Structure 1
C-alpha cells in the first residue's frame, strides 16, 4: 500500500525569539514492512538543518534559526510503501538491547495500582497472549478523547484513574502495565490511515513490547489490535515526550507559543 502524507504544523510566538532550536523526529525509518520512497521538509524561516540518527535509531533533524523569529511553519510531504504484517517489527534500527526498555520514566512508572491492573487485565499464560489481552482490555475500557488538546501527555499513574485520554496516554498506559509484567516496552509516534478508499493519514501513537523468542510486537490500544499496513511507524522512545515529533528550545523573550497542526494525506491502495 502506498501512503501519501502532507503534514503542516505552525508554531507562533507572542514575542519574537532571538534563537530557536528544534529537534525534529518527522521522518520514518525503513523496516521490512515499510519503505520511505520520498520525503521532503519545508521550513518557513531561514534555518540550518542537520540530519542524523539519535541513540534510539530514529531519523532526526536539528533545526537552528536565528531571530527575530515570530513563527515557524513546517510542511512535511512524503510517500511510504507498506506491506501487510502481523504486528512483528523486523528490519528496524535497534542500537539498544531490549532490556533497556524496562527502564521507566515518570510517565511510565510501574505503580502498585498499575501492577495490580496489569495482572488483572493480562491474566495468565505466555507473554504474547498476556500482551494481546492487555491491549484488548485497554481498548475496551479506555475512553479516547476526540481531540487531544493537552500539550503534554499525562503519566500513566494519572491516566489509569479515569481510564480516558488521548492515544498517547493510552500508549503510555500500555507501556507502564507491560513493564509491570516484566515486558520491555516503548512508545511509537507515527501516522495511521483512517477511512475507506481514499483515506487520510493522521498523527497517531501506539506501543511496542518485546517478547522473548519473537522480538518486538506492536500494540495499538485505540485500534485494539496490532498495527497494520495502514500504520506508518515513526520515532520510538521511552514515552510520549521522548518520541515527540518536535522538541524545542528557545532563547530571548520566551513568552507563550501556540500550535496549529493540520495533516492531510491519502491512501492509494497499490501493491
Structure 2
C-alpha cells in the first residue's frame, strides 16, 4: 500500500500444514520468539517450529504444568523474554528450561485473573503486561507476576470505562493504551490519567465484536489502523474518528481483517479472513 519498490517474485514461501505436523490448519496467531522459534496458535493446540520439526502442546486433564486449553487465542513475548499464551480458558507462561507452563486462571484469590477468556496480550510498559479478557484488562507485574485489574475511576468512584469486554490491546510508541471492547474503543493517556472513548466506524452494528476480535496497529508514521469485521479504517487525528480506508474514494476492503503489519520497506500488509493484500 506504500513504500519502496520490492521484487516480490523473488519471495519464497514454505507451506506448513497438518501433513507437516501442524496440530490444526486454522492458525489464530503467529510469533517468532527471540531465540528464533516460530510459534503457531491454533484452535487445537500450540505449535513450536524450529525450522525442521514441529512440537505440539495441547491441554491435558489434570496436567497443571500444561496448557489450560488447546484453543490458543494470543501469543506474546514480553520485554523480559517471557512467552505468554492466551487461550479460550486461561493464560499460560512458558518455562523453556522445563518445557512446560505456569497456569493462570480465575479463582477466589484477589490477585487472580478476572476472567478466563483471553482475547489479546501486549505490554502496557516495560514492566507490565496487559491481558485483555471478557471482564476487564488484567495487569501482570513482571517483577513478581502478581495480577491486578486495570481501572480508571472518576471522583465519584465510577469506572470511566463503560464496556470492559475487551477484545484487543495496543500500546503506542508514546505510551497511550488503546483498548478495543465489544461496543467501543477506549484510549488511556497515562500522563494525564484520562480516558477518551472512540466509536467504531458507522457501518458496524452493535455487538458485532462479541465473538469476533478487531485488531489495532500503529505504523512507522504513528498512524493507528483498525481492522474489523467489515474492513479497514484509519484514525483521523484531526476529527478524532476512525474513517473507512478508501482509494480513489472507493472502499477496497469489505471482508474481515485478521491482522495488520508493516515490513521493512514501509508496506502495510493486511491479512483478511479470506486473503492477504498490501
Q: TM-score, normalised by structure 2?
A: 0.25
Q: Choose between structure 1 and 2 for higher RCO, CA contacts under 8 A separated by at least 6 residues.
A: 1
Q: TM-score, normalised by structure 1?
A: 0.26
Q: If each structure's helix is expressed as a fraction of its own residues, which one has the higher value?
A: 1
